[in-house]
Amino acid sequence: MTYVHEQFESTDRLREECGVFGIYDLDGGDVASAIYYGLLALQHRGQESCGIAVSDTQGPKGKALSHKGMGLVNEVFTPEDLEKLRGDIGVGHTRYSTTGASSRENAQPLVLNYIKGTLGLAHNGNLINASELRSELSYGGAIFQTTIDSEVIAYHIARERVKAPNVETAVTNALKKLRGSYSLVIMSPRKLIGARDPYGFRPLCIGRRDNAWILASETCALDAIGAKFVRDVEPGEVVAITKDGIQSDKSLCIPKEQHGRCIFEYIYFARPDSRLDGRSVYASRLQAGRLLAIDSPVEADLVVGVPESGNAAALGYSLESGIPYGTAFVKNSYVGRTFIRPKQSSRESGVRVKLNALREAVDGRRVIMIDDSIVRGTTSDRIVSMLREAGAKEVHMRVSSPPFLWPCYFGTDVPAREQLIACGRTVEEIRRIIGADSLAYLKLERLGELAPGLGLCTGCFTGKYPMEPPKEDIRGLQY
């Protein structure tokens, strides 16, 4: 991870990746509104910035229109903005920064004009060799407009395109140089390209609506625009969508046994109504709750989830244990996952702005509270206290993931080890810190049961990553 951590030290929630979306309407219809609604469906993957870039495949080769800015999708785009974005092919992006500062310059999609025309790129993931690739380009005379690794990818594709017979070959050749995680959606003058890293860290799927083809991070974005799911892009696959249909290049694919999909897509990041690589996210979370009930039972009167990501696991715990499932929290729907945080000295609590406990639901009851993770522990202790103040007789916390012990280098904002509450502490010590009557995590050996048959990356729990982790970030600073 990189230099955005300092901005968010007061929050105890993991930050999402990014959301990517692309569409090519072979009938020539404008696509900007479809991208807009697709990005709205992917808003949970990033709330810092967003953007759309479109082009007309029948128009001049070097012309692309784009609009991007800081904030949520419905804040950045007005109907007038969308009306100006005329084109039948386009890409969109919603961002949480994992590399590079949070600024408008770093918002995506990136649009490059070069000798072969225009390239629009949206990237979800994190390169671990971005620093060396950037240095190589800089010594070759490249001038960078951003501080994000996505621009490094775009430059390498543009360089390869000059000597490659077509853009999909250029993409494949450029990807051979990359190490890390990426799902890419790329707009060229006449083609829409999708690519996924060989380990499959980040999801990417293909959909279709009438004669328009879509690429998206999650299937929920397909549902939002009335498109049908066709298939997932395989780890290591590059797909090119043209007037002639879909062409596939699997030369970068590796054996399935080496795949490393991010397990936290299933536990927390993805929307529960999405399916990733054939697995229902909702089913994964139900299963996590059931496994917690089997492995870590406790006598109680009510099972509740910390909204929203804890709800499905809480239902699973209830179904397995027979303890009634209920609602203990009211969530403020008008507060996003990022907002102006009060100073530490202020009485106002950022947690209470978002959540409030229902006294009528918990007063006098023994409550099992399910959450997806404990990162620093600061949020968990406030929520436990909130339930006690509302009259809960006992509060038992169950966590639908194992303890975080290691940072993530592949696009998830798991902070440095010294900031992780589980690092160097026993479960009993953590229980005392957060103030719960009991505490239990999902067992490490159970993770495979959340997404059976799929190769998973569990490095943030085990310290064992699918590839050698980096020693420095994109700025050249040591990890």
Q: 3-state DSSP call for residue 133?
A: helix
The active-site residue, picked from 18, 50, 220, 460, is 18
| DSSP-assigned states of every residue in 455-476 | -EE-HHHHS--SSPPPSB-TTS
What's the rounded Cα separation, in Å, for the pair 33 and 56? 15
- Say how many CA atoms lie within 13 Å of 73 toward its Cβ: 25
Instruction: For residue 51, give Cα distances in angstroms to 20, 40, 184.
Output: 10, 11, 15
Six-digit token string for 478: 């040591």
What's the rounded Cα separation, in Å, for the pair 365 and 296? 19
**Would you call 220 a catalytic residue per the annotation?**
no
What's the rounded Cα separation, in Å, for the pair 331 and 312? 16
CA dihedral 218, 223, 224, 230 (to 10 degrees): 60
What's the rounded Cα separation, in Å, for the pair 360 and 191? 57
Six-digit token string for 159: 């360089």
Pairing of strands 18-25, 205-209: unpaired
Give the other-Cβ count within 10 Å of 45's Cβ: 26
The answer, yes or no, to whether the previous bond of 449 is cis (omega within 30 of 0) is no
Residues annotated as part of the active site: 18
